[in-house]
Structure 1
Amino acid sequence: MDATAFFKSISGKHITFCGIGRSHMPLIELFQSHGAIVTARDRRSFQELGENGQTLKRLEVGLILGKDYLHGLTEDIIFRTPGMPFHLPELENARRLGKTVTSEMEVFFRLCPCRIYAVTGSDGKTTTTTILSEFLKAQGMTVHLGGNIGKPLLPEIEAIAPDHVVVAELSSFQLISMRHSPDVAVVTNLAPNHLDIHKDMDEYVDAKKNLILHQDGFSRTVLNADNEITAGFKGLVRGDCWLFSRKDSPERGVFCNGESILVNGEKLMDVGEIKLPGWHNVENYMAAIAAAWGEVSPENMRKVARDFGGVEHRMEFVRELGGVKYYNDSIASSPSRTISGTLSCYEENLILICGGYDKHIPYAPLGGPICQRVRELILMGDTAEKIEEAVLGCQEYRHSHPNIHHVRDMQEAVFLAGSLASPGDVVSLSPASASFDMYQSFEARGRHYKELVAGLK
């Protein structure tokens, strides 16, 4: 079905959106404009919805709010927000009643008329997705970038032509119910994550597998050969399988020998040509290169590597003050992301601001790298005690190496970091935790950090 036929089919149907946020707000207006009878549901009160609530009131959208917002799901089509558990009893009951329970990304994949590149993983997916989109744009293609990266794609569907390309970042929440896979699928890596939402690690991994399970023989799949879980996906691949590795040169894929990046044994570029710091970003480039090889010229890949300065909130340089450099790595919402990011780039004189919302994932792996790299550890949020336990319990810990400080909030953390820092030091926010104990998103957390750093004197 194409977009025109789909939107014609929903006219007069009752459609509800469970969760009023950035992925659903543009869809509510879109579906209403095509004649659907739209309601929106959210646990929050009208006052808590803020500007979104006022917008929906102006559009005369029916609102079902409060703790019983999922009661009576009898609409024809029910959209769940990506963070909503797939197996909620209310959603299961709606399915038993024959109602369509879906999501923005499911519908988009069903209707999209052009080639889709999609990226998932525990860490690095946003940067990899962005690099891949930059490659394709450098080649002169019309690129639609979105998904979990911050912008829903379905509102753009009527403007997407068959000769365009889509580059989508997909989370496990989006993938858990997907029954369509992209033309080119990239899995950057997998480690424990989001176990506050998924019932266990198996469900999390199975959700990620949906990225490749529905591909066919014409597709390409890119896997991280150095990650045990993603390497295990190789047997599921139905099409052209590419691997990337920093350990062994794959027969078909991308390899880094420590100095150069090679594609199928031929040198593409020196590592030093990549503007973004850190070995994790070298791996991000390797994944994107494998995805785009044959569609994007080597010259354009090298040009992007030299010019691309990175994505906001990902080891983002904020400012230098009194010889101290401040970085914003708010995207680091898991221990593995902090380890592969901030803790892989700075070997000494590091003041680390860490902690946040607890996703019920292991923090023990964080202890060793912190003890090896961090001089002053500033902890806040729900995971502060878990991170401290990981540091104090690891073999590398020595008394006061690092010094551990507890603070109440970001303002106290930034002011303390500024007072502890000396010329030549690096201060980095890299929480190893989600933001939801104090902030609506990692972007809001990163912006607040940057505002506070900008105000230091």
Structure 2
Amino acid sequence: MDQRSKIAILGYGAEGRAIYNYLYDKGYHELTVCDQDVDLKAKLGDGVSAHLGESYLHDLDQFDVVFRSPGVKYLEPGIQAAIAKGVDVTSSTAYFLDQRPCKVVGVTGTKGKGTTCTLIHEMLKASGMDSHVAGNIGDPAISLLNITDADSVVVLELSSFQLQDMKASPDFAVLLNTTEDHLDYHADKDEYMRAKEALLAHQKSEDVAVLNKDYEYVKFYEPVVKGMTKFVSVKEELKEGAYVENDEIYYSEKGKKEKVCKVSDVALIGSHNLENIMPSIVIAKTMGVDMKHIKKVIKGFEGLPNRLEFVKEVKKIKFYNDSFSTGPITSMAAVDSFEDPTILIAGGYDKGLNYNEWALKILTKPSLKIVILMGDTASIMEDAIVEADEKLGEAEGSPTQVLRRQNLEESVLTAFAEAEEGGVVVMSPAAASFDQFENYKERGKAFVGYVKKLK
């Protein structure tokens, strides 16, 4: 690619805008914005070449290079046709990895990416390193090329959408638990799993990969690893990595173990967050961070917005916002995080996920008293609960009450009316937000707003 190249920018969201601005500033002026939004023309300004509307993926073979934004599917026929004709299809994240002047930590997985990235970033920053967070959390990675150098570290949150066509891997890779998700985007679970292989497949022998030994996915990804492999586990002692034993967190290197802290010292709510903390410890220690900085972060970091975020206590009822939970696994983890009498608000946009296991958790968690269902998935979830109840029988299931409400505001008001003193109300939808909200952040903001009106 040179300054004479004809370049297309597919999708003009945050990442698309960032790569456009970066390339333009570097003297690449043969740029065309391709986007489905026909109203974008007025925002682009005069002199900006644009191909807008439903046909925005047509005729991509006229370009030398195409930068694909994460929201545009790699397997779209228009993109595949361009690749077949020799067009270089890439992304701003891939370009950043090719051009990076510094070490990069990449984190992916179905859930926990943002929390893990932030933990790593805070640990590195506490030790005095010039650390930056980018990707799905923070700024687009491309925007950091001008402000980082050999002494910097960039911690990248990477989704399957970004990884799918990447031909470079980060120096340090963290692969969290990977379950089915985004089946509205990927063809099937196999494609989703394989999309994440790029995190590991292009590493060098001196690079490091961190995997969770407690999950089946290890068998799928471990053969792909090109660098050194370190593990985390809550089930077994490890010679290389981090693990939990007798309610203590340990870090082990070459068989020599070092106590990190007690599990009870962790500020984050929910035992599932141990799966985010342990890889962070491994990366930080591997990069030379002193244990005192690691301990300080673990004991002080209370989490990100929309991830089991404490909102308010009203009449001795605590409200938690877990809007980032867009699948059953994270919603189950939220339910498991509380032993006080709990009401769960769930439901949203249907991504084609299976709720059978989630339904079993709903019926077998003794502290869960009521589940309030809303949105497109309400019927699907209720059917799964009915089916699970039939399988369990009266002896095994708990008397969880199921209620249906039209929207989030009604759900919050009902939860407040039904909650016990000393109890918990948690919105952990187990579904995406697009049926009623623009994104999970807007849903979380709405929930917080409704809760703050309660008296």
Return the TM-score normalized by structure 2: 0.93
CA contact (8 A) 1:10 1:34 kept: no
Q: C-alpha distance in 1, partners of 2:251/2:160?
A: 29
Cα deviation code 1:96-141 (max 9, x no counterpart) = 2322211111111100011111111112111111101111001101
Q: Does 1:29 align with 2:21?
A: yes
- For residues 381 and 445 of structure 1, the distance between their equivalents in structure 2, rounded to whole angstroms, comes to 12
Is residue 273 of structure 1 aligned with residue 261 of structure 2?
A: no
Matches within 5 A, 1:100-249: 100-249=88-237
Label 1:249 to 1:23 Cα distance change in 2 as closer, same or farther (>3 A): same
Give the whole-Å Cα distance in 1 for the aligned partners of 2:131 and 2:271.
27
Q: Tell me the alpha carbon deviations over residues 412-445 of structure 1, each in whole angstroms, 9 at most, x when there is no partner.
A: 2222222222321211110111122222221121
Of 427, 440, 445, 1:429 maps to 427
Q: Which runs of 5+ in 2 are unaligned?
A: none
- The residue that corresponds to 2:360 in the other structure is 368
Aligned residue number for residue 16 of structure 1? 8
Counterpart amino acid of 1:136?
A: L
- What is the CA–CA distance in structure 2 between the aligned matches of 1:290 and 1:231, rounded to whole Å? 20
Residue of structure 2 equivalent to 1:308: 301
CA contact (8 A) 2:284 2:294 kept: no
Matches within 5 A, 1:293-304: 293-294=285-286, 295-304=288-297
Query: Structure 1 CA distance, aligned partners of 2:262 and 2:191?
Result: 39
> How far did residue 231 of structure 1 move?
4.6
SS in 1 for 2:409: helix
SS of alignment partner, residue 118 of structure 1? strand
State which drifts further: 247-256 or 60-69: 60-69
The superposition leaves residues 347-392 of structure 1 with CA deviations (integer Å, 9 ceiling, x where unpaired) of: 3421111111222121111012112242121111221122112222
User: Could you say what secondary structure the match of 1:325 adopts?
Assistant: strand
3-state SS of 1:386 partner: helix
Residue pair 2:34, 2:56 contacting (<8 A) in 1 also: yes
Alignment CA distance shift 1:41-1:409 (3 Å): farther
Q: Secondary structure at the match of 2:14?
A: coil
Please state whether the residue corresponding to 2:71 is helix, strand or coil. coil
Count of aligned pairs between the two proteins? 442
CA deviation vs aligned residue, 1:126-179 (integer Å, no higher than 9, x gap): 111110111100110111211122531102211110110010011111111111
- What is the RMSD computed on CA atoms of the aligned residues? 1.8
**Alpha-carbon distance change, 54 to 155 in structure 1, aligned in 2, over 3 angstroms:** farther
Please tell me whether the aligned partners of residues 351 and 376 of structure 1 are also in contact (alpha carbons under 8 angstroms). yes
Judge conservation of contact 2:4–2:30 (CA < 8 Å) in 1: yes
**2: CA distance between counterparts of 1:267 and 1:69?**
55
Alignment counterpart, residue 315 of structure 2, candidates 322, 347, 351:
322
* Separation (CA, whole Å) in 2 of partners of 1:22 and 1:413: 32
Could you say what secondary structure the match of 1:452 adopts? helix
Match of 1:409 in 2: 407
Partner-residue secondary structure (3-state), 2:371: strand
Q: Distance in 2 between matches of 1:14 and 1:313?
A: 41
Structure 2 residue matching 1:445: 3-state secondary structure: helix
Q: Residues 98, 345 of structure 1: CA spacing in aligned structure 2 closer, same or farther, 3 A cutoff?
A: same
- Provide Cα deviations, 1:308-356, integer angstroms capped at 9, x if missing partner: 121111000011111111111011111111112x111113421111111
Q: Which residue of 2 aligns with 1:448?
A: 446
| Cα distance change, pair 148–137 in 1 and its aligned pair in 2 (3 A) | same
Counterpart residue type for residue 401 of structure 1: P
Amino acid at match of 1:95: I
Preserved CA contact (<8 Å) 2:174 2:211: yes
Measured in 2, the distance between the counterparts of 1:445 and 1:23 equals: 22
Contact 2:181–2:327 (Cα < 8 Å) also in 1: yes
Q: Give yes or no for contact 1:187–1:223 (8 Å, CA) kept in 2.
A: yes
Q: Residues of 2 paired with 1:22 and 1:402: CA distance?
A: 42
Q: Which residue of 1 aligns with 2:64?
A: 76
Residues in 2 aligned to 1:187 and 1:326: alpha-carbon distance in whole angstroms: 31
| Contact 1:116/1:165 (<8 A) preserved | yes
Once residues 400 and 291 of structure 1 are traced to their aligned partners in structure 2, the CA distance between those partners, rounded to angstroms, is 41
In structure 1, stretches of 5+ residues that fail to align are 1-8
Residue range with higher mean Cα deviation, 162-171 or 236-245:
236-245
For residue 431 of structure 1, give the secondary structure of its aligned residue in structure 2: coil
Shift of 1:408: 2.1
